[in-house]
Chains A and B, each alone.
Chain A
Amino acid sequence: MNEKLALSDEILLSVDKPERYIGNEVNSVTKDKNKVDIRFAMCFPDVYEIGMSHLGIQILYGLFNSYDDVWCERVYSPWVDLDKVMREKNIPLFALESQEPVKNFDFLGFTIQYEMCYTNILQVLDLSGIPLKSCDRTWDDPIVIGGGPCTYNAEPMAEFFDLFYIGEGETRYRELFDLYKESKKNGDSREQFLRKCAKVPGIYVPSLYEIKYNDDWTIASINPMYEDVPQLVVKEMVTDLSDAFYPTKPVVPFIKATQDRVVLEVMRGCIRGCRFCQAGMLYRPLREKDVEVLEKYAVQLLENTGYEEISLSSLSSSDYSGLPELIDFLIDYCRKKKINISLPSLRIDAFSLDVMSKVQDIKKSSLTFAPEAGSQRMRDVINKGLTEEVILKGAHDAFEGGWNRVKLYFMLGLPGETDEDIEGIGDIANKIAKEYFDTVPKENRHGRTVDIVASTSFFVPKPFTPFQWAPMASKEDFLEKANTTRRGIMAQLNQKHIKYNWHETDASVMEGILARGDRRIADVILKAYKKGCIYDAWSEHFHYDVWMETFAECGIEPTFYTTRERSKDEIFPWDMLNCGVTKQFLYREWETAMSGKVSPNCRQQCMGCGARSYNVGVCMEEKTGRN
């Protein structure tokens, strides 16, 4: 137990949830700092309960600590109350395990999971006393490295990072650590070390690239500054997931984290190819883990953590080929041990309904459908292979099985969307309600009725998707679309059984700017941070007006990044990266989308996206042909 805390009792007792800052959780790792060569501070730049729920950090934390010469600790964003106290009292940000200042570490790693955490990254650097910009750092500062989905276009944050790790973290960190030790031993300068890092596959060193711009504000060229710096940084990927490191002793927080359960990752990647989905492109190709390996991990994880719930993690668990076998095992094991099974991301069909009826209380649970778009035309454009027929059949079966609550998820502002597409949202919600009344006779309803919740989010085009060329809708358009949706629902016969929720527009607009932003936005982020913007992902702390005012002050027009349609050959800010999927494939898919046609999934037919070059996973399977 580490008795010595960085914060005094008085401070801890005056802030909300002091448990966020005291470390000492079950399975947290403490080492003798004098016996390790590398101290790594791993940060999720958001509040503890969010950060502790992230699987990626648990994987890297376990992996790094399995190395004798490395001690990896955790850091999260101090909540706004402690943030204030630390600034007032000049208390440096510390890592949880040793409670020692982050500034003294060799590496500070950030997982960058969403754009709206960018100011929190500056907060963590600032509170740590680390210069915000890479160019101002010396060997006295940690090497600041970023990973995670946003690194596929972290150009707005490029100035603040020394390195970005592109791809899955399991593969290259050992090499990076060895290089670091060698550079330190040789007395290399920090610049020399960063230059050497550029040769490690998957490592992108932003300071070694020069970006030139055209008069119309688009990018003219992206060039490495030296010959030995690669023109293209290629995504790193685990080729054998069954064999890859998996943390069987994850840290168990004292307070209830958002993800308060064992998380069993069953596969990576997705075969579906939904055209709006960045994860579906970035993690290609789909790679499954062996059922036996998962069964072994499930038992070990539950024994080592004491959690009373286990959840399967993947982008689309229904596509995991070993699912029936794995579920049978889990149902049997968990029943004996009184452990709950949670099954997110299952497609509603006869199999999943049967499974869910075994593991959930039907009266309390609801069914989730994600049609994503209201009309079949629009669902074809986004390549969401879910038809109205399938939804209604699933709902029918579920209502027969005793369910009566349905959640529906849609996006608004999809490319080429019309009012008819939006009105389809109310239409399908109404048809589901009608299906309930047709399926369940009055005498079987027992005072219950059908309860439908339709939610819409606003579509944000993301890099490395077929929609990266698409204009994003404006804030005004979004509001109008939400109104059209609401009116469409209100006009339905069963409208009193349908509840409608929509997301805020401001945050979506901001996310849209950052998602396809370039290096010139760094000034805006820095300035907004200095004006007090942190925790932008939390609506109560997000100040849209401050951001817009800052864009104006910096002379940057936000709509350049959002509502503008890109031409076919435009150079994107992220074009120095190769995520395994080619730009040609993405453009083909964009054109197919615009012609309203669907593409088969990876198990049906290979569409030549480029991910086959990794020679693994679904790319190696026999294809079934269309449908």
Chain B
Amino acid sequence: MVKVRLKYSKNGPIKFIGHLDVMRYFQKAIRRADLDIKYSEGYSPHQLMSFAQPLNVGATSDAEYVDMTFESITTVDDIQNRLNATMNEGIKILDAAVLGDNDGKAMTIVAAAKYKVTFRDSAKPTFDWQSELREYLSGEHLMATKKTKSGEKEIDMKPLIFDYDIKDEALYILISAGSVNNLKASLIIDNFMKSKGIEMDTIIGLQLHKMETYCAGEDSKGSYIVPLISHSESDKIYVTFPE
């Protein structure tokens, strides 16, 4: 039994495929590629596969992750090549790595994500949003109402933003993600626009592009985040996690 983590991109028209359908898509791709995936026990066995984080319909990504459990593998390169040979170009396996016994599930270890956020043409602000946004983000507290399962909650977004940059008509932002302190990039823009007195439908108005998904770690230099598949020490980004 071998656990393998795959990194894949989701681009072009494929961005309109919802998360459940992406899962179904992978199940079929694995069969087409004839990979020796492990199945669950029971009367209707399913492939052992676990996705890191669902991506919104309409968002693109260069850093989606899925863990798969195989009965046997040749090499991770072989898995990558065989899948890519049978997949739609919109979803492409970019990297693959064998997981150790102690590695957590992709789904549970996500701690941060980096996004590129742009306005779709129909929603482009008529004012100099880049300077205004820079000023907004420099505030000491960035209060927002977050919808949760149990209702609404007032949160401060500021400590959940690790880093950002605004250039070339885009916001590049590294934010807390995962099951504990998940911040949506769209929530930031939503509140920024509200601060300008503008209500916008962020699902339709914003194009989100996920650039990387990170998990958390700690070493002698402090706490850091690192891509879910990392081949180099230099991938580590040292951050301060919120309380």
- A residues contacting B by CB (< 8 A) are 1-3, 5, 8-10, 12-14, 18-19, 22-26, 252, 254-256, 302-308, 337-338, 340, 361
Q: How far is it, in angstroms, between the C-alpha of A23 and the C-alpha of B25 when the chains are bound?
A: 14
Known: A252-B28, A306-B31. A19 touches B12 (CB 8 A): no
Give the complex CA separation of A256 and B20 in angstroms: 10
In the bound complex, residues from chain B placing their C-beta under 8 Å from that of A302 are 31
Residue pair B21, A255 in contact (C-beta under 8 Å): yes
The reply on B50 being an interface residue by CB < 8 A is: no
Known: A10-B122, A13-B203, A305-B32. 10 other contacts (CB 8 A): A1-B88, A24-B14, A26-B28, A26-B32, A26-B86, A254-B24, A254-B25, A303-B32, A306-B28, A338-B39
B21 engages A3 (CB within 8 Å): no
Smallest CB-CB separation from B16: which chain A residue?
A18
Is B27 within 8 A of A13, CB to CB? no
Q: Check A256–B24 contact: CB distance below 8 A.
A: yes
- Please report the C-alpha to C-alpha distance between residue A22 and residue B30 in the assembled complex, in whole angstroms: 23
Q: Known: A256-B21, A306-B31. Is A24-B90 also a contact (CB below 8 A)?
A: yes
Contact status B21-A22, CB under 8 Å: no
Q: Residue on A with the closest CB to B20?
A: A256
Taking a contact as CB atoms under 8 Å apart, the answer to whether B88 and A9 are in contact is: no
Judge whether A1 and B90 touch: CB under 8 Å.
yes
Q: Decide if B34 is an interface residue (CB 8 Å cutoff).
A: yes
The reply to whether B13 and A13 contact each other, CB–CB distance below 8 Å, is no
Residues of B near A307 (CB, < 8 A) are 28, 31
> Are B30 and A1 in contact (CB-based, < 8 A)?
no
Pair B30/A9 contact, Cβ less than 8 Å: no
The answer, among B13, B16, B18, B25, for a CB contact under 8 Å with A1, is B13
Contact in complex: B24, A23 (CB < 8 Å): no
In the complex, the answer to whether B120 meets A9 with C-beta atoms within 8 Å is yes
Please, which residues of chain B bring their CB within 8 A of the CB of A23? Answer: 13
Residues of A within 8 A of B39 (CB): 338
Residues B29 and A306 in contact, CB atoms below 8 Å apart: yes
Output the least CB separation between B117 and chain A (Å): 14
- Look across to chain B and name the residue whose beta carbon is closest to the beta carbon of A5: B13
What are some 16 contacts across the A-B interface (CB < 8 A)?
Answer: A1-B13, A9-B120, A10-B122, A12-B58, A14-B204, A19-B16, A19-B17, A22-B16, A24-B12, A252-B28, A254-B25, A255-B21, A256-B24, A303-B34, A304-B32, A338-B39
Residues of chain A contacted by B88 (CB below 8 angstroms): 1, 24-26
Q: Which of chain B's residues 1-28 have a Cβ closer than 8 Å to chain A?
A: 12-14, 16-18, 21, 24-25, 27-28
B136-155, CB < 8 A from A? none
Whether the pair A9, B207 counts as a contact (CB closer than 8 A) is yes
State A205–B25 Cα separation when bound (angstroms).
Answer: 43
Q: Mark B114-129, 1 if CB is under 8 A from A, else 0.
A: 0000001010000000
- In the complex, what distance in Å separates the CA atom of A8 from the CA atom of B58? 11
Minimum CB–CB distance from A265 to chain B (whole Å) comes to 21
Chain B's closest residue to A337 (CB) is B31
A9 to B205 alpha-carbon distance, docked (Å): 9
Q: Tell me how far the C-beta of A383 lies from the nearest C-beta in chain B, rounded to whole angstroms.
A: 39
Central interface residue in A8, A9, A256, A361, by most chain B CB within 10 Å: A9
B48–chain A nearest beta-carbon distance, Å = 12
Task: Enumerate chain B residues within 8 angstroms of A25, measured Cβ to Cβ.
Answer: 88
CA distance A424 to B86 in the complex (A): 55
B120 contact set on A, CB distance < 8 A: 9-10
Q: How many residues of B contact A (CB 8 A)?
A: 32
User: Given A254-B25, A302-B31, A306-B27, is A3 in contact with B44 using a C-beta cutoff of 8 Å?
Assistant: no
A254 touches B17 (CB 8 A): yes
Residue ID in chain B nearest A20 by CB atoms = B16
What distance in Å separates the Cβ of B25 from its nearest Cβ neighbour in chain A? 6
Q: Is B89 an interface residue (CB 8 A)?
A: yes
Q: Is the CB of B12 within 8 A of A1?
A: yes
Chain A's nearest CB lies how many Å from the CB of B119?
Answer: 11
Interface members, chain B 47-81 (any A CB < 8 Å): 57-58
The residue in B14, B29, B32, B87 that gathers the most chain A C-beta atoms within 10 A of its C-beta is: B32
Chain A residues, CB < 8 A from B24 = 254, 256
Q: Which residue of A lies closest to B39 (CB)?
A: A338
CB distance from B181 to the nearest CB of A (A): 27
CA distance A9 to B13 in the complex (A): 9
Residues of B within 8 A of A9 (CB): 58, 120, 204, 207
Q: How far is the CA of A13 from the CA of B18 in the complex (A)?
A: 11
B87 proximity list for chain A (CB < 8 A): 26
Q: Could you tell me the distance between the alpha carbons of A302 and B31 in the complex, rounded to whole angstroms? A: 8
Decide if A13 touches B89 in the complex (CB within 8 Å).
Answer: no
Identity of the chain A residue whose Cβ is nearest the Cβ of B28 in the assembled complex: A306
Q: Whole-angstrom distance between the alpha carbons of A338 and B37 in the complex?
A: 11
How far is it, in angstroms, between the C-alpha of A303 and the C-alpha of B82 when the chains are bound? 13
Closest to A3 in B: B12
A304 to B85, CA, bound (A): 12
**In the complex, which of the residues B14, B31, B34, B203 contacts A308, with contact meaning CB atoms closer than 8 Å?**
B31
Task: Check if B16 sits within 8 Å of A12, measured CB to CB.
Answer: yes
CB distance from B109 to the nearest CB of A (A): 28
Decide yes or no whether B45 CB sits under 8 A from chain A. yes
Which listed residue (A24, A252, A361) contacts B43, Cβ 8 A? Answer: A361
Across the A-B interface, the 6 shortest Cβ-Cβ residue pairs: A306-B28, A306-B31, A306-B32, A1-B89, A18-B16, A22-B13
Measured between beta carbons, the chain B residues less than 8 angstroms from A22 are 13-14, 16
Which of B31, B34, B57 is most buried by chain A, counting CB atoms within 10 A of its CB?
Answer: B31
Q: What chain B residues lie within 8 Å of A340 (beta carbons)?
A: 44
Question: When chains A and B are docked, how far (Å) is the Cα of A24 from the Cα of B21?
Answer: 14
* Contact of B43 with A19 in the complex, beta carbons under 8 Å: no
Counting chain B CB atoms within 10 Å of each CB, the highest count among A2, A252, A305 belongs to: A252
Q: A312 to nearest B CB, angstroms? A: 19
